[in-house]
């Protein structure tokens, strides 16, 4: 594959040469650095690169240039290098124009000139942009291949696991790909055995478990240390934030995640109200950055392991996993978040994974191209999914029990949904039943007046509220009736049960559960805000409280 291009555009020759020199110094081994001194010259270069199918990773352009401004150039460049990231170099007086360009031309970042020293001002920005470009443009030669069909529940689970763990793969559908049928036959896999996962230099894996797949891919599935300072259960925003802060402060930390890092936030196509990202960022991007940060400080991440129990062993807390493994730590943070509740409607259970899905990943959008998609729910997650899927689907229909979206969804999402021509909203409506031979084919909608309507459907994504999975904690940890962990001062009076559990003379710390040394953060905690920013804040706060606790034992 030819080296991707970084194109710089500046009409000031000394400035252009200096920028190209700084970029070549850091990125020259991986990328071609090409200079242009005008917008038109840059467009000519992009046209030639497109004709030669040469990838363009980044366009760095000055704003004030004669004939064509940097923003005008980027608007034209979008059709010639649609996947390229863009960076606008501008003066302080032009910052309002640059901010407007975030919406007008999809500007990724702007940087005030001068950029000296580049190690502090230029390289960190370019590093992030190129990391994003690499994630969106994996090498053409992908090692892992997944053979299956789109209505296989296990196939969907495997593809989701790979995507959320940033493992690039080639998808071969046996219904349309002759090569897929050939490989399935060679592996001895019938229709009920799919998927087949092929990893170089190993035997084919037929309908592998998540743990076996993770092991084969070299992902860590076992803890390395006999005892940790802190075991974090759950790798959503709260768990990853706690891992970063705890590891950076010298604690030995392990994070256990049963599916893939990121939690529900990691599945979001765009998080637009998170501080510091005016264009928003995807949940996968936020997760990828957080994992890299946690690992940089030395935190361990154990994947694809389901936690099934908890024990107190004197000053040690033990987390028990399916398969018999366990992790011992001096303190435990419960950050398991929540899962979408199951929709109670006739016929849905047998169609789960075969057209009916709970939640949606950003990667799901491509497979619903030119089809009609139903989304059940009216929270922010449902709104974000609707906007993402609408980029590819022929039509997105939101099924909402209430009379409006405003009661449960942020206004910026409501405005975009109501303005989207390919999204319609069915108010005061719910799904009463579903049916299909082998996959979803028809759903029954029930309206508030009791009337019912049968509509064809092959894709339905459900977002109808959430519930925590905390049964593994046992009776020692006080929870409310829905399963949320009770923490802090509320333990003493909650349902009259807390006083029987709390035995110390001191009051529990704000995020501490009814067992000393066990803390909860994020959506799993009773009365949490259910927002990414608050989960990150609670994860950081929990580490401060863990330090206080460890100092006393």
Q: Which residue intervals of 373-410 are DSSP H helices?
A: 380-389
Token pair of 269 as six digits: 């196509």
Residue 498 banded pLDDT, cuts 50, 70, 90:
very low
**Predicted confidence band of residue 143 (pLDDT cuts 50, 70, 90):** confident
Among 126-140, 144-158, 231-245, top mean pLDDT goes to: 231-245
* Contact status, residue 240 vs residue 294, Cβ threshold 8 Å: yes
Predicted pLDDT of residue 496: 46
pLDDT at 422 over 70: yes
Binned at pLDDT 50, 70 and 90, residue 388 comes out as very high
pLDDT in tens, 236-282: 999 999 999 999 999 999 999 998 899 888 888 888 888 888 888 88
Supply the mean pLDDT for the chain: 91
Mean pLDDT over 539-545 rounds to 98
Tell me: pLDDT of 55 over 80: yes
Which residues, at least 6 apart from 100, have a Cβ–Cβ distance to it below 8 Å? none
Query: 348-465, which class in CATH?
Result: alpha beta
Tell me how far apart the alpha carbons of residues 459 and 391 are, in angstroms, rounded to a whole number.
15
Tell whether the model's pLDDT for residue 1 goes beyond 60: no
DSSP state of 163: H
The structure's pTM equals 0.81
Confidence at 499, pLDDT banded by 50, 70, 90: very low
Encode 324-353 in three state secondary structure.
Answer: CCEEEEEEEEECCCCEECCCCCECHHHHEC
Residue that wins the pLDDT comparison between 192 and 22? 22
Burial 490-529 (b: 16+ CB within 10 A, else e): bbbebeeebeebbeeeeebbebbbbbbbbbbbbbbbbebe
More confident residue, 497 or 336: 336
Residues whose CB falls within 8 Å of the CB of residue 235, separated by 6 or more in sequence, listed in order: 243, 255, 256, 257, 260, 261, 262, 263, 291, 301, 335
Q: Regarding the domain with residue range 228-338+468-550, which homologous superfamily does it belong to in the CATH classification?
A: FAD/NAD(P)-binding domain (3.50.50.60)
Condensed to tens digits (0 to 9), the pLDDT of residues 309-350 reads: 999 999 999 999 999 999 999 999 999 999 888 999 999 999
The pLDDT of 524-551, averaged and rounded, is 95
Q: What are phi and psi of 266, to 5 degrees?
A: -65, -15
Does pLDDT of 508 surpass 70? yes
Residue 103's pLDDT is: 80
Q: Cα-atom radius of gyration of the chain, to the nearest Å?
A: 26
Instruction: Give the length of the chain.
Output: 553
Topology of domain 5-136, per CATH?
A: Rossmann fold (3.40.50)
What pLDDT shows up at residue 390? 94
Q: How far apart are CA 143 and CA 163, in angstroms?
A: 14
Q: Which residue has the higher pLDDT, 391 or 135?
A: 391
Which helix (H) or strand (E) is 441 found in, with range?
none
Q: What average pLDDT does this structure show over 273-292?
A: 88
The residues pairing with 64 across neighbouring beta strands, listed in sequence order, are none
Q: Order of strands across the sheet with 372-376?
A: 356-358, 459-462, 372-376, 395-399, 423-426
Q: What is the pLDDT of residues 460-488, one digit of tens each?
A: 999 998 889 899 999 889 999 999 999 99
Whether pLDDT at 502 is above 80: no
């Amino acid at each position: 594959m030819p080296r991707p291009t970084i194109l710089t555009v500046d009409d000031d020759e000394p400035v252009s040469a200096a920028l190209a020199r700084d970029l070549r110094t850091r990125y020259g081994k991986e990328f071609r650095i090409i200079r242009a001194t005008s917008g038109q010259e840059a467009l000519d270069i992009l046209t030639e690169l497109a004709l030669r199918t040469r990838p363009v990773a980044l366009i760095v352009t000055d704003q004030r240039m004669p004939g064509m401004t940097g923003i005008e150039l980027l608007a034209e460049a979008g059709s010639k290098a649609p996947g390229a990231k863009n960076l606008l170099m501008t003066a302080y007086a032009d910052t309002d124009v640059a901010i407007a360009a975030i919406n007008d031309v999809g500007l990724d970042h702007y940087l005030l000139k001068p950029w000296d020293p580049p190690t502090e001002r230029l390289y960190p920005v370019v590093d992030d942009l190129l990391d994003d470009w690499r994630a969106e443009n994996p090498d053409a030669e992908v090692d892992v291949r997944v053979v299956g069909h789109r209505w296989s529940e296990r196939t969907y689970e495997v593809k989701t696991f790979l995507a959320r763990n940033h493992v690039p793969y080639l998808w071969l559908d046996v219904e349309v790909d002759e090569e897929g049928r050939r490989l399935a036959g060679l592996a001895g896999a019938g229709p009920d055995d799919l998927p087949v996962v092929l990893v170089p230099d190993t035997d084919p894996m037929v309908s592998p478990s998540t743990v076996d797949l993770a092991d084969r891919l070299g992902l860590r599935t076992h803890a390395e240390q006999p005892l940790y300072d802190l075991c974090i259960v759950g790798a959503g925003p709260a768990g990853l934030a706690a891992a970063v802060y705890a590891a950076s402060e010298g604690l030995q930390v392990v994070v256990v995640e049963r599916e893939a890092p990121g939690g529900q936030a990691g599945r979001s196509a765009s998080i637009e109200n998170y501080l510091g990202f005016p264009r928003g960022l995807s949940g996968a991007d936020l997760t990828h950055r957080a994992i890299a940060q946690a690992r940089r400080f030395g935190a361990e991440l154990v994947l694809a392991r389901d936690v099934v129990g908890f024990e107190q062993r004197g000053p040690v807390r033990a987390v028990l996993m399916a398969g018999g493994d366990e992790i011992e730590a001096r303190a435990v943070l419960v950050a398991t978040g929540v899962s979408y509740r199951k929709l109670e409607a006739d016929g849905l259970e047998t169609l789960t994974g075969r057209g009916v899905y709970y939640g949606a990943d950003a990667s799901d959008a491509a497979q619903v191209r030119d089809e009609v998609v139903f989304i059940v729910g009216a929270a922010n997650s449902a709104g974000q999914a609707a906007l993402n899927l609408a980029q590819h689907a022929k039509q997105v229909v939101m099924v909402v029990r209430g009379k409006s979206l405003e009661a449960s969804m942020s206004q910026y999402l409501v405005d975009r949904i109501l303005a989207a021509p390919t999204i319609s909203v069915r108010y005061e409506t719910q799904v009463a039943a579903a049916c299909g031979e082998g996959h979803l084919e028809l759903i029954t909608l029930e309206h508030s007046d009791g009337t019912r309507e049968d509509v064809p459907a092959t894709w339905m994504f459900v977002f109808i509220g959430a519930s925590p999975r905390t049964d593994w904690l046992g009776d020692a940890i006080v929870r409310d009736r829905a399963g949320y962990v009770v923490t802090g001062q509320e333990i003493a009076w909650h349902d009259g049960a807390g006083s029987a559990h709390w035995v110390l003379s001191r009051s529990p710390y704000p995020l501490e559960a009814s067992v000393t040394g066990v803390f909860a953060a994020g959506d799993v905690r009773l009365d949490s805000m259910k927002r990414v920013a608050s989960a990150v804040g609670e994860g950081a706060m929990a580490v401060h409280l863990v330090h206080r606790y460890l100092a006393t034992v």
